[in-house]
Structure 1
Amino acid sequence: MSQQTLSKAGTKASSGYKYTFAARMAKTPKSFIREILKVTEDPRIISFAGGLPNPELIDVDGVARATAAVLAEDGRVALQYSTTEGYRPLRQFIADRYKKRLGLDISPDEILITNGSQQCLDLIGKVLISAGDHVAIERPGYLGAIQAFSLYEPVFHPVLLHEDGLDPAQFAHELKANPIRFFYGVPNSQNPSGVTYSEQRRKDIAELLRGKNTLLVEDDAYGELNFAGKSLPSFRQYLPEQTIITGSFSKILAPGIRMGWVVAPPAIMEQLVIAKQASDLHSNYLSQRIAYEYLTHEDIDTKIRVIQARYKAQAELMVSLMKELMPASVRFTTPQGGMFVWVTLPEGISSMEVFERVLKEDVAVLPGTPFYTDGGGKDTLRLNFSNSSPEKIRAGIGRLARVIRDMDRP
């Protein structure tokens, strides 16, 4: 029985009781990554499938010191309810960092602390999408956003992604042909492709949106992970009243604290705060206090440089091995930052078949189909390089290349 049939007709419990679900659930895809991660719990599996930071780079001792300090100095307050907007000193820290990193003047009143950047996407969907609204998204696009927005039943308009960013001609066509509510994109080290928009492409996209009643949602989860150590301009620089930014501490501090934020103009922020109040009152206040304590007492910039250097070395190793071992007909991106390499397989080779075959060799990869809203991606793979040692990258890419070479033979 299909998911859609289950949503409409319900499903039966062992007692015969019939459950029924909201129709929107039939339009919301299950997270393929979460399902694959169940497979990769086997320690024998070399996994390129997830999107996990390298656990060796999580500063457990530093977080422990920060936690102890918060509990010792202000524990009863840190364990109490708090405001929906979040701990103001933490919001000020984020605002100051935008000024330092990107030259943006952002008020802490324009920042809302969330439970990871994934909650940002859910809140944005709640306040901006009505059923049937038109939303533009990259092709391929981040599957977490596809899943979050799908709950609110939009019409997706995927726009092709090139090595330097979004296709401006296709985007211009979509804007002209449809009342696009907002465009969602990941301009820095895009998930899943690893592509970083060039500065010129950012200007092109901003110019197409200028004066239009279309917002731009800039997911900046990987902005601090640029291998060159320098940041390209935010869309807010070009479109301050039309840009919403989402950010996260998951990639530079620790994903387990589930701490992200959204930056939005005041009128949008007011609606986001109302939606968050209805959702969870406020984000984990203890985690907010710990994050702030850590960020103001540890050397976060040195930590980020260590992460950048490690990921750069791992990405370069993966790409060099693929150049050496893969058939010439295999194409792949060369990321400038982030955590992913995007692979396009030779014509006629199915990514699901590659997934199944290489899993028998104790290697997990992620087929690209969940990143498409139009049924594409059947010949694509996403490979994660951040959560593997050099030894595992060598062994895993060797096995993957062997499987693809065998499938590519006439």
Structure 2
Amino acid sequence: MEELIAARVRTVKPSFVREVLKAAGRKDLISFAGGLPAPELFDVEGMRQATLEALEKDPVGALQYGATEGHAGLRGEIAKLMAERGAHISPDQLVITTGSQQGIDLIARTLLDPGDVVLLEQPSYLAAIQVFELAQAEMRGIGSDGEGVLPDDLERQILALKAEGRAPKLIYLVATFANPSGATLSRERRVRVLELAAQHGIVVIEDDPYSELRFHGESVAPMVGLAQEVEGAENLSVYLSTLSKVVAPGLRVGWMVLPAWLQQKLVIIKQASDLHASTFAQHVGYRYLQSGRMEQHVPKIREAYGQRAQHMMATLERLLPRVLQFRAPEGGMFLWASMASGVDTMQLVPRAVDAGVIYVPGAPFFANPEGHAHHLRLSFSNSTPEQIEEGVRRLASVVMD
């Protein structure tokens, strides 16, 4: 029955992380794979109170259909949050989504025709690669280092594509604590990327699920805020974020900041997709943000993740000295590491699972995976220090065997 499947779907690969998470259900398995928030850090009481308030103060609104753009109160609270992050926007620029993942999909469906070129940092977020594959786009990787994407390489690739008569349509970046690399794009590079986008008429998507999780260093304003300082960039800047990493992923509340020309068309696509994000979830999210509990709770998450990151790095240095190389992140959920000996980390996965530990190999994070088989991503967010210690010990037993 394969011939009944749409051609664009036949070649799309399943998400490696989602498949790995099926195995992670084993009770004896320590998972460094999925970027899951620590469940013991959920503000359950705060969510309970927000849910009760949503049902007590506006039960009809919480349980009825709503506007495609999203709940007005929630958009207002998110606009305040955006101002704290360094981007002063109007609530009218916001569209509430079912997690920021839906935002990537809606942008792709609104802007991309088959064969259009998307430029994305290398390595890049797996699920974004999956969306662009489904849109039948051509993906070109931009080189990166510890400060994120390299603007000179971005410019080189733009000019090369334009010389072929093929102007790229999108640039996709996770500018703060990138998934999987953990790198943060410096302010200077953010401005340069925006300048290039404005010069060549390319839409920039900044996906920002992690910026609240900074445990070291100074924050950097989001590109949608900096775009107001770069002539021509404001009309080409898109920003995505979510409450998943700091409140609860089960809430599935995300948002987009969009220029008006794009918002008008994207809202039509969203209407056809799901009418609107869950009104009940939006009302709960609104009440939670309005209560001020998020500002009180996030420092606890930052402290815990900072401790877990430090413990994972110290344990790796102790048990796998000079074998596993990595950069220390300033926030987020991940360590991006490389096998010094060039070992194929994909081939190690079955042995690691047998030993009771799981991670994500690095190759799937690249649009062109050749030459990247020695990388791996380790998540520290969802493991206690004791689990990190034992998990790294199990990993070392496989690597050193």
TM-score if structure 2 supplies the norm length? 0.94
Separation in structure 2 between the aligned mates of residue 373 and residue 81 of structure 1, nearest angstrom: 39
CA contact (8 A) 1:229 1:305 kept: no
Deviations 1:356-405 (A, max 9, x none): 21111110111112211112331111100000000000111122123222
Task: Report the Cα offset of residue 206 of structure 1.
Answer: 2.5
The SS at the match of 2:355 is coil
Instruction: Find out whether 1:299 has 2:293 as its counterpart.
Output: yes
Matched, 1:29 2:13: yes
Residue identity in the other structure for 2:137: P
Contact between 2:217 and 2:330, CA under 8 Å: does it hold in 1?
Answer: no
Residues 1:354 and 2:348 are matched in the alignment = yes
- Check whether the contact 1:357–1:403 (CA below 8 A) recurs between aligned residues: yes
Q: Where does residue 269 of structure 2 map in the other structure? A: 275
When structure 1 is superposed on structure 2, of 134-143 and 227-236 the one drifting more is 227-236
SS in 1 for 2:142: strand
Partner Cα distance (1:258, 1:357) in 2: 34
Shift in Å, 1:192: 0.7
1:184-195 paired onto structure 2 within 5 Å: 184-195=172-183
Count of matched residue positions in the alignment of Structure 1 and Structure 2: 389
| Aligned twin of 1:390 | 385
User: Could you tell me how far 1:169 is from its partner in structure 2?
Assistant: 2.2
Instruction: Find the counterpart in structure 2 of residue 330 from structure 1.
Output: 324
For the pair 1:209 / 2:192, whether they are aligned, the reply is: no
In structure 2, list runs of 5 or more residues that go unmatched: 162-166, 228-232
Larger mean CA deviation between 280-289 and 224-233 belongs to 224-233
Match of 2:120 among 124, 132, 137: 137
Tell me the equivalent position of 2:238.
Answer: 244
Alignment of 1:227 with 2:225, yes or no, is: no
Q: Does 1:88 align with 2:91?
A: no
Residue 389 (structure 2) pairs with residue 401 (structure 1): no
Could you tell me whether the CA contact under 8 Å between 2:61 and 2:279 is conserved in 1? no
The correspondence for 2:280, drawn from 280, 286, 289, is 286
Q: Deviations over 1:46-69 (max 9, x none)?
A: 000111000011111111111112
Which blocks of at least 5 consecutive residues in structure 1 are unaligned? 1-9, 12-18
Higher mean displacement: 384-393 or 32-41: 32-41
SS in 1 for 2:382: coil
Match of 2:28 among 44, 56, 68: 44
Q: Distance in 2 between matches of 1:287 and 1:334?
A: 35
Report the counterpart of residue 378 of structure 1 in structure 2: 373
One-letter identity of the residue aligned with 1:49: A
What is the deviation of 1:72?
1.8
Q: Equivalent residue for 1:69?
A: 53
Q: CA deviation at 1:276?
A: 0.2
Report the Cα offset of residue 295 of structure 1. Answer: 1.1
**Residue pairs, 1:50-61, within 5 angstroms:** 50-61=34-45
One-letter amino acid matched to 1:110: Q
User: What is the identity, as a one-letter code, of the residue corresponding to 1:31?
Assistant: S
Spell out, residue by residue over 1:287-346, the C-alpha distance to the aligned partner (whole angstroms, 9 max, x if none): 000011111114211211111111011001111111222141421121111000011113
Q: Please tell me the residue identity of whatever aligns with 2:126.
A: L
Give the whole-Å Cα distance in 2 for the aligned partners of 1:153 and 1:361. Answer: 38
Residue from 57, 80, 83 that aligns with 1:99: 83
Q: Give yes or no for contact 1:327–1:405 (8 Å, CA) kept in 2.
A: no
**Post-superposition offset of 1:160:** 1.6
Letter of the structure 1 residue corresponding to residue 158 of structure 2: L
Alpha carbon RMSD of aligned pairs, Å? Answer: 1.4
- Paired residues of 1:168 and 1:204 also in contact (CA < 8 A): yes
Residue range with higher mean Cα deviation, 69-78 or 114-123: 69-78
Is the Cα–Cα contact under 8 Å of residues 229 and 308 in structure 1 kept in the other structure?
no
Identity fraction in percent: 39
CA distance in 1 between partners of 2:43 and 2:223 (Å): 31
Give the alignment partner of residue 150 of structure 1, picking from 133, 137, 162: 133
2:364 counterpart of 1:367? no
What are the superposed Cα offsets for residues 123-154 of structure 1, whole Å, 9 maximum, x if unpaired? 00001110000100111110010111211100
8 Å contact 1:174–1:180 — kept in the other structure?
no
Task: Quote the residue 1:315 is aligned against.
Answer: 309
Cα 1:162–1:91, aligned 2, differ >3 Å: closer, same or farther?
same
Cα distance between partner residues in 1 of 2:54 and 2:40: 24
Aligned to 2:98: 115
- Aligned mates of 1:316, 1:378 — CA distance in 2: 25
Letter in structure 1 aligned against 2:111: L
Q: Secondary structure at the match of 1:135?
A: strand
Counterparts of 2:368 and 2:269 in 1: how far apart (Å)? Answer: 29
The match for 1:197 is 185
After superposing the two structures, state which structure 1 stretch, 29-38 or 230-239, moved more.
Answer: 230-239
Q: Residue 227 of structure 1 aligns to a residue in which SS?
A: coil
User: Matched residues in 2 for 1:229 and 1:200: separation?
Assistant: 16
Q: CA deviation at 1:353?
A: 2.2
Residue 35 of structure 1: SS of its match in structure 2? helix
